[in-house]
Chains A and B, each alone.
Chain A
């Protein structure tokens, strides 16, 4: 068998209309890394059976499918990750000037994802993000989403033999799940008996799929795979850069916005990371081996800044528990030909307070303020966080 280099993989994704209803993910994004393993939660079957060995079998527990996706944060694909943890409240603009998408804390969209491995694909559906993190690596912004899926289709086996000409359906074994076909959709290509067939139906019973009359010979127990798609990328943009990112801090969000507007007024930072967590909860549900539903929990967030120490003002704000606001603006490439509009990510945090403000002294080193802020809800503004993205992608995509 051929070995496969991970670099030939990519991420296929698309927001679903309903959380439990998969959709063919026909949008494609470059990946830095992805690891979303399925855990069947196998454990030794413990029962007294007249043997002195721990067990003679494994039994399934409560299944989970969760993990991380990392991308270089280009404004178009970054918006999908934001869309997984926030609700898009509006889109304005056009292709010539760029589209401005505003995201607020709320119900993020559920996504279908394909993660190809060689010519095979792992299809996840009902994927929801819980934690979105921003960081910079060698000047480039990296975005990481941690999340969980309701289910997947990857590899199953045939329950009923296919016997040659005129085959129009395949039935899958239920050893993995009583509904092994969940995750497949009409239009998917599966490989059965070494033959590719395009699905024309996915039966509501969760075990049977239909396709146009095809000659297939395959025995009970033969593997069935989802075929990986061929990616089709729209014009990919560069990631946002640390060098084009300004951090504004102030007594309130208006002051932070003003400070973030110019390099002269912004706070020069050596390191910036931020994360937002929806507190996603996986609720068990009768009829589901995995979670029955994924629901937002209590939202939290954090910002970490490292900046050159100039005076103990931030220390004072820390010990006196003073409210501050932070606005982070990362500007990308110009969109409009007259250079009047640009790609842009704006993270507006209405209220933060310092959890820690360390000023360590190390021989030969400049003194730094190493700051860990907690994002808080601001009763004055009635808001905690707004993420605005200007990019080249129409709002209908999100």
Chain B
């Protein structure tokens, strides 16, 4: 699992994840691969995010 940020101005529905709003950061399942999102480097804050 890794945290990704929706880097667009669109809200997206991701299968098996749900709604991810523009700019929102969310933990994504293994193998997540979508260029509308950027991986967020792990920090202590991120690790505690749901």
Partner-B contacts on A (CB < 8 A): 8, 24, 26, 119, 187, 189, 227-236
Contact = CB atoms under 8 A, between A and B. Distances in A.
A119 B31 contact: yes
Interface string B10-50: 11111100001000000010011111110000000000000
B11 A235 contact: yes
A187 B31 CA distance: 15
Q: What secondary structure prevails in chain A residues at the interface with B?
A: loop
A26 B34 contact: yes
20 contacts: A8-B15, A187-B35, A189-B33, A227-B31, A228-B33, A229-B33, A229-B35, A230-B15, A230-B28, A230-B31, A230-B32, A232-B12, A232-B14, A232-B20, A232-B36, A233-B12, A234-B11, A235-B11, A235-B13, A236-B13
B46 to A, nearest CB: 19
Contact of A231 (B14, B20, B28, B31): B14
Contacts of B35: 24, 26, 187, 229
A30 B20 CA distance: 18
A186 B39 CA distance: 16
Contacts, number: 42
Contacts of A236: 13
A230 B13 contact: no
Contacts of B33: 189, 227-230
A232 B37 contact: yes
Contacts of B12: 232-234
Contacts of A24: 35
Interface residues of B, number: 16
Nearest to A188: B35
Nearest to A198: B33
Contacts of B32: 230
Contacts of B11: 234-235
A228 B35 CA distance: 11
A374 to B, nearest CB: 41
B34 A232 contact: yes
Contact of A230 (B6, B10, B34): B34
Contacts of A119: 31
A26 B33 CA distance: 11
A229 B10 contact: no
A229 B15 CA distance: 12
A187 B7 CA distance: 15
A312 B34 CA distance: 58
Contacts of A229: 33-35
Contacts of B15: 8, 230-231
Residue of A187, A189, A232, A235 with most partner-chain B CB within 10 A: A232
A234 B11 CA distance: 6
B20 to A, nearest CB: 7
Nearest to A27: B36
A376 to B, nearest CB: 41
Nearest to B13: A233
Contact of B14 (A227, A228, A230): A230
Nearest to B16: A230
Given A230-B28, A233-B13, 5 more contacts: A8-B15, A24-B35, A189-B33, A228-B33, A231-B15
A27 B14 CA distance: 13
A236 B11 CA distance: 11
A295 B10 CA distance: 34
Contact of A234 (B10, B28, B31, B34): B10
Contacts of A26: 34-36
A119 B6 CA distance: 22
Nearest to A228: B33
Nearest to B19: A235
A233 B14 CA distance: 7
A234 B28 CA distance: 17
A187 B20 CA distance: 21
A398 B11 CA distance: 19
Contacts of B6: 232
A27 B21 CA distance: 16
A236 B13 CA distance: 9
